[in-house]
Structure 1
Amino acid sequence: MFTSQTSMQTSSFQDSIDVEEKDIDYDNEDIGYNQKIQLNCYYTIYLYQGTRSEAAADGNVAWSQRRTDSTASTSQEDFSLTLVDSSLPSEAEPELRCYISRRLSKGALLGGMGNIATVELSSVPEAAVGCYCCLVEQERSPEQPDAEANGYVICLMGGSEKGLNLFRLELDKYVQGLQSSLQTPELVNLENEIRPYLSRWYEESVMHIHRVVQMAQGSICFLLHAALSHKHVEVTNADDRTKADVARFIRAASLQGLVQEDMCKTISQEALTDLIVDCSTSPPMLSNTVSNRFCDDWIQAFLKAAERCNPFLLRQILENFKLKAIQDMNSLKRFIRQAESSHYALFRCCQFLQSCGNGDVLIQNARAEHRDMPEACSIIHVLDEFLSEQRAQG
């Protein structure tokens, strides 16, 4: 029984860790990304106005001319789109504007909610690209609460719909970072603030996981373990971008949002030491490191994807890592319930913890989740002692 169970768990784990092109096809045509060719990224921003709104910036001649040359309205004349700025080829922008107009007419773009789809643009090398669109509405005046909603439509294009969907939360947050800069129709800060910000969307919203894996190399297992353990990570002797990258990697690799929030806080408070990442050397020196066989087994998958410079594949591997951890947590939870009335189930718990390689993390989460259940706590105590004996023998 033990051999059969271990074999099945090993097979399941290998299925999770072997993220190949034949399985998810996240390379070349599917994501529009090839390690030999730099991914083309584009952005476009439009002024969105209801037809009853007054024309924006009447005193600005250049702005008024741009509105005359590049404004599109639907047949119902209920809104207009005015090109503000774009990195697309000039021939491709009208195609995108027609696409956005259709989406707005169907009510498919809601204020503050990003929408990702595939857009066919004949004048770009890829012909079809993933496009993230978001309508950022301007704040309405208290004196005119019922006025037509005005705002800006921001489009970020690159890779594929499938690839961008992996980074939806990052893209939402990145676009929200422009909220305060988009409250005036004149956009006097276009050159110095908005355009540079939109130009960096791919580097800032997609490439952070790749940068962390490249920086950490084989030590990535310690960051993965810290994320699963809700352990605080402190980055020293590094610039702000590196600190932000590591923090975002930890959030992306953690199970926050997938397990109870109070459980995460309980585990985090129990951590005795922080993981220290000292970036004064390359690769960085890590202190207070803890890992396990489960995290170690994922190292090569991350490093191989990083070598191929494929951030979409890296994100998929990270999601598979979390999925496998959640599956193991649910398995242990089921075994613990069974063990309350069966000694054989307790034996199976011990077998499972021994074979999965992630026993310390699973016990830690189980202890926090069952802290108000005396019978479960006694079983977890036995399992904890079993793991301690195994570590002492190993």
Structure 2
Amino acid sequence: MADESDTGSIQSSQSEQGAEKKAFEDSRFYALYIFCPKRSRVTGEDADSSNHSEDGNLSLTVAATNLSAAAETDLRKSLSQRLSKFPNNPSEGNFLSVGLSTSDESSNSAVCYYCVLNGVTAEVLKEDTTVPGTQYVICFISFHDSSWVTFRPELDQYTAGIVKLLDAEPAAIRQTSSKSTNSDSAHHGQLSQIDGAVKDYLERWYEVVLEYLARCVAKLGSNVHYLIYAALLDAQLQMKGFTQQEEADINKFVKCCSLSSLVQQLQSDETSSKSDGDLLLNLDTNITSLQSVTAVLTAKDNTIMFEVDNFSSTCQFCKMATEHLMSGDPKNVTKIKETLESVKLAFIHNLNKLKRFLRQAETDHYALFRSLIYLKKSGAGDLLLRYVHLDASPDTLNVLTVLQDFIKSKGQALV
């Protein structure tokens, strides 16, 4: 029989390993690699297999990471295999499921966003034509956020921002690397100052790219329906009483709810039905022709106030969307993003349905009545009328005029 002290030591060790594993999985990780699409000979320091991999016609050299050595090796091997089989266009982000080693020597599934970057901006090329055409692969890894593919636009934008920091390396280092005969050694030398701004930028990826949603919900609570409304209204939002960080978060939240990118995707979707394609025609290209609207969001004495020109301050559609959002975990950023995406889809569906009614109303008076009833029930009548005219035919515009004149004469609210 095992000694009780030994049993206690084993349980304690297992508990510590479990805590270490949880801490590892709760963290968010990054890795930056120097990428050489064409295989080259590696000599000297870069020949060390602990930070360099070659697979077929490419090589990867780790430049910065907060992964453990074992996990980073797993990631580099997976990336090498993926990039060898499926070359990526620069600046186009992709997602990859990977198994990474933890401290207890087991493998755990994680999701990795990776993007190939050209490491020289046009501004640098104008100043120094001797700068080598370095490429990098930037990776962001999470164990918990398996559905964060919806953040691809934010991730693409954030990864592009690191190029200027890489260009900011001392000119002498760039010149030395451009004269070197060994491209891998040159690139490795180019990143000798990476412990500064580049590392700080990489470490902040999750805070900047995803957590702005949770910060907005924490700041505004149920008042986030004002932001959804401002986004669907395509209003110019002015803010008072917020910090610079809060204003940046709110602007990103509103952009996240914007219709323009979603409409563009729907227009280019070959699987969309013909009727839906016709209904969405020219909406994205004409969205800038909407009458300019200014909205003001004010924070004062723990109170949020919202005012908007020529429109009510909110609508039932946005309030219901916010209730659904607040019913979940206010810190789960992927669920918040999925909810906002579903809100945009629902609004587009409502817009398409209204347009079908209006087309039918050109020859059917009962369809005109159904259009009025639908506008009332949608909870976003004013918003729908703001967009519905953009691609309307002359006959549909005549129907719209009759409908809007009737609503105005009755003084009926459509919110």
TM-score range, shorter chain: 0.7 to 0.9
Structure 1 Cα separation of the partners of residues 197 and 24 of structure 2? 29
Structure with greater proportional helix content: 2
Q: Which amino acid aligns with 2:162?
A: L
- The corresponding residue for 1:81 is 60
Show the 5 A alignment for 1:1-394. Answer: 39-50=26-37, 65=45, 68=48, 69-74=50-55, 76=56, 78-123=57-102, 127-139=108-120, 150-159=134-143, 162-183=146-167, 185=187, 186-259=190-263, 260-267=283-290, 269-271=291-293, 274-288=294-308, 290-307=313-330, 309-370=331-392, 373-388=393-408, 389=410, 391=412
Report the CA distance between 1:149 and its aligned residue: 6.1
Q: 1:355 to 1:71 in 2, by over 3 A?
A: same
Query: Superposition RMSD on alpha carbons, in Å?
Result: 3.1
Q: What is the SS of the residue equivalent to 1:391? A: coil
Q: Which amino acid aligns with 2:288?
A: K
Q: Which runs of 5+ in 2 are unaligned?
A: 1-22, 168-173, 175-186, 264-282
Higher mean alpha-carbon deviation, 384-393 vs 329-338, is at: 384-393
Aligned residues: 342
Report the CA distance between 1:320 and its aligned residue: 0.7
Report the CA distance between 1:222 and its aligned residue: 1.7
Structure 2 Cα separation of the partners of residues 253 and 214 of structure 1? 17
Structure number with greater CO (CA < 8 Å, separation at least 6) is 1
Report the CA distance between 1:284 and its aligned residue: 3.6
Structure 2 Cα separation of the partners of residues 37 and 290 of structure 1? 45
Structure 2 Cα separation of the partners of residues 317 and 386 of structure 1? 35
Higher mean alpha-carbon deviation, 206-215 vs 313-322, is at: 206-215
Higher mean alpha-carbon deviation, 130-139 vs 43-52, is at: 43-52
Superposed CA deviations along residues 344-367 of structure 1, whole A, max 9, x for unmatched, are 111111121121111111111112
Q: What is the SS of the residue equivalent to 1:190? A: coil
Aligned partners of 2:26 and 2:144 also within 8 Å: no
Q: What is the SS of the residue equivalent to 2:370? A: helix
Higher mean alpha-carbon deviation, 298-307 vs 151-160, is at: 298-307
Aligned partners of 1:263 and 1:365 also within 8 Å: no
Higher mean alpha-carbon deviation, 193-202 vs 160-169, is at: 160-169
TM-score (normalizing by structure 2) = 0.74
Q: What is the SS of the residue equivalent to 2:69? A: coil
Structure 2 Cα separation of the partners of residues 366 and 202 of structure 1? 38
Report the CA distance between 1:150 and its aligned residue: 3.6
Q: Which runs of 5+ in 1 are unaligned?
A: 1-35, 59-63
Report the CA distance between 1:80 and its aligned residue: 1.6
Report the CA distance between 1:220 and its aligned residue: 1.5
Report the CA distance between 1:387 and its aligned residue: 3.8
Superposed CA deviations along residues 129-166 of structure 1, whole A, max 9, x for unmatched, are 11101111234979xx9x99641111101145742211
Aligned partners of 1:215 and 1:284 also within 8 Å: no
Q: 1:386 to 1:198 in 2, by over 3 A?
A: farther
Aligned partners of 2:380 and 2:414 also within 8 Å: no
Superposed CA deviations along residues 282-336 of structure 1, whole A, max 9, x for unmatched, are 35433336111111112222223353x1000001110110000000000011111
Aligned partners of 2:382 and 2:414 also within 8 Å: no
Structure 1 Cα separation of the partners of residues 215 and 327 of structure 2? 14
Q: What is the SS of the residue equivalent to 2:137? A: strand
Report the CA distance between 1:218 and its aligned residue: 2.1
Q: What is the SS of the residue equivalent to 2:195? A: helix
Higher mean alpha-carbon deviation, 191-200 vs 377-386, is at: 377-386
Q: What is the SS of the residue equivalent to 2:34? A: strand
Report the CA distance between 1:227 and its aligned residue: 0.8
TM-score (normalizing by structure 1) = 0.78
Q: Which has the larger radius of gyration?
A: 2
